[in-house]
């Protein structure tokens, strides 16, 4: 995929559908159908929806790990046709290499790129500082807490200077207090850096606390059924956003949109 100059849109899904083979004597599985949305540069967009609705499929298509059955996906104006080196992907697990120090883990994504050893070190130093983990650059993953490991994983993701960062429930394995503190740290880092971000989450309060917009997906095959603009202040501080008097109304709206009362019945 070739990069072009600065554009207003970081990500475009244009009538995208994705089906997976069902195997012998089984029908194909349609994961998503007719999905269209845009993410502007520096915007933070969250996607929520029921389990199995295709949220992870959206991330995989953005990263070029899958290709759409119909429609097109564009990052920075260029059609995604294979694994996309300009997308940073952060998963639920940090996937740090246990035999490498934290600094060397942050440098890992740069080693297959035309980046000198000196520049790799400079970028790692910069991102470790931005993610508030510089003091642990020489430590190994087993010496860090879960929250600190996730900070290191974010530093590794940002070191490649991606056009867009994909977050696949990166806080779901953490305890409630660590989760909120890390959301605050991530929120400040992403906002101050002007980093375009796409988050998938099952946590409705997390979506409201962190995103500029929230896209709601239907049951499989997943479609975008609603767009919610979160016009709350303090996007760089999810803890403050959660305490905002109007935050509860956004969460309740999402709760109703997803028909969670009916699912629990």
Instruction: Verify that 69 and 173 share a domain, yes or no.
Output: yes
Bridging pattern class, strands 87-90 and 197-200: unpaired
Instruction: Verify that 100 and 81 share a domain, yes or no.
Output: no
Distance (Å) of CA 100 to CA 95, 104, 106, 107, 164: 12, 6, 9, 10, 26
Dist. CA 206–CA 183, nearest whole Å: 8
Which letter does DSSP use for residue 28 in this model?
P
User: Each residue of 42-69: pLDDT tens digit?
Assistant: 999 999 999 989 999 999 999 999 999 9
Q: Would the pLDDT of 259 be above 70? A: yes
Structure tokens at 160: 């490649």
**Quick one: pLDDT at residue 213?**
97
Q: Would the pLDDT of 193 be above 80? A: yes
The CATH number linked to 247 is: 3.40.50.300
**Quick one: pLDDT at residue 2?**
40
**Quick one: pLDDT at residue 165?**
93
Instruction: Verify that 23 and 141 share a domain, yes or no.
Output: no
Instruction: Verify that 255 and 221 share a domain, yes or no.
Output: yes
Cβ neighbours of residue 255 closer than 8 Å, sequence gap 6 or more: 204, 261
Query: Mean pLDDT over residues 31-49, rounded?
Result: 96
Instruction: Verify that 227 and 124 share a domain, yes or no.
Output: no
Q: For the beta carbon of residue 66, count every other beta carbon within 10 angstroms.
A: 18
**Quick one: pLDDT at residue 121?**
93
The percent of residues above 90 in pLDDT, for the chain, comes to 61
Dist. CA 175–CA 88, nearest whole Å: 25
Domain total in the chain? 2
Instruction: Verify that 63 and 174 share a domain, yes or no.
Output: yes
Instruction: Verify that 48 and 20 share a domain, yes or no.
Output: yes
Instruction: Verify that 170 and 68 share a domain, yes or no.
Output: yes
Dist. CA 101–CA 121, nearest whole Å: 12
Dist. CA 128–CA 136, nearest whole Å: 9
Query: Mean pLDDT over residues 116-135, rounded?
Result: 91
Query: Mean pLDDT over residues 101-108, rounded?
Result: 94
**Quick one: pLDDT at residue 263?**
57
Dist. CA 231–CA 190, nearest whole Å: 18
Q: Which domain holds residue 132?
A: 96-161
């Amino acid at each position: 995929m070739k990069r072009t100059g600065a554009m207003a849109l970081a990500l475009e899904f244009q009538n995208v559908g994705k089906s997976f083979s069902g195997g012998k004597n089984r029908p194909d599985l349609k994961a998503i159908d007719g999905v269209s949305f845009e993410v502007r540069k520096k915007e933070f967009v969250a996607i929520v929806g029921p389990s199995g609705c295709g949220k992870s499929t959206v991330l995989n298509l953005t990263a070029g790990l899958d290709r759409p059955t119909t429609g097109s996906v564009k990052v920075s104006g260029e059609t995604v046709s294979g694994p996309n080196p300009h997308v940073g992907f952060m998963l639920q697990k940090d996937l740090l290499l246990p035999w490498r120090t934290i600094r060397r883990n942050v440098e890992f994504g740069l080693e297959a790129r035309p980046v000198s050893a000196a520049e790799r070190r400079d970028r790692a130093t910069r991102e470790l500082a931005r993610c508030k983990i510089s003091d642990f650059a020489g430590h190994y993953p087993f010496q860090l807490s879960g929250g600190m490991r996730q900070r290191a994983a974010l530093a590794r993701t940002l070191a490649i200077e991606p056009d867009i960062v994909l977050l696949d429930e990166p806080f779901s394995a953490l305890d409630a207090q660590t989760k909120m503190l890390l959301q605050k740290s991530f929120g400040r880092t992403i906002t101050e850096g002007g980093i375009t971000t796409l988050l998938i989450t099952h946590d409705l309060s997390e979506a409201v606390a962190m995103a500029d917009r929230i896209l709601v997906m239907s049951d499989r095959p997943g479609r975008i059924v609603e767009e919610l603009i979160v016009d709350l202040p303090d996007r760089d501080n999810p803890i403050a956003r959660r305490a905002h008097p109007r935050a509860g109304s956004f969460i309740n709206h999402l709760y109703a949109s997803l028909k969670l009362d009916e699912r629990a019945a």
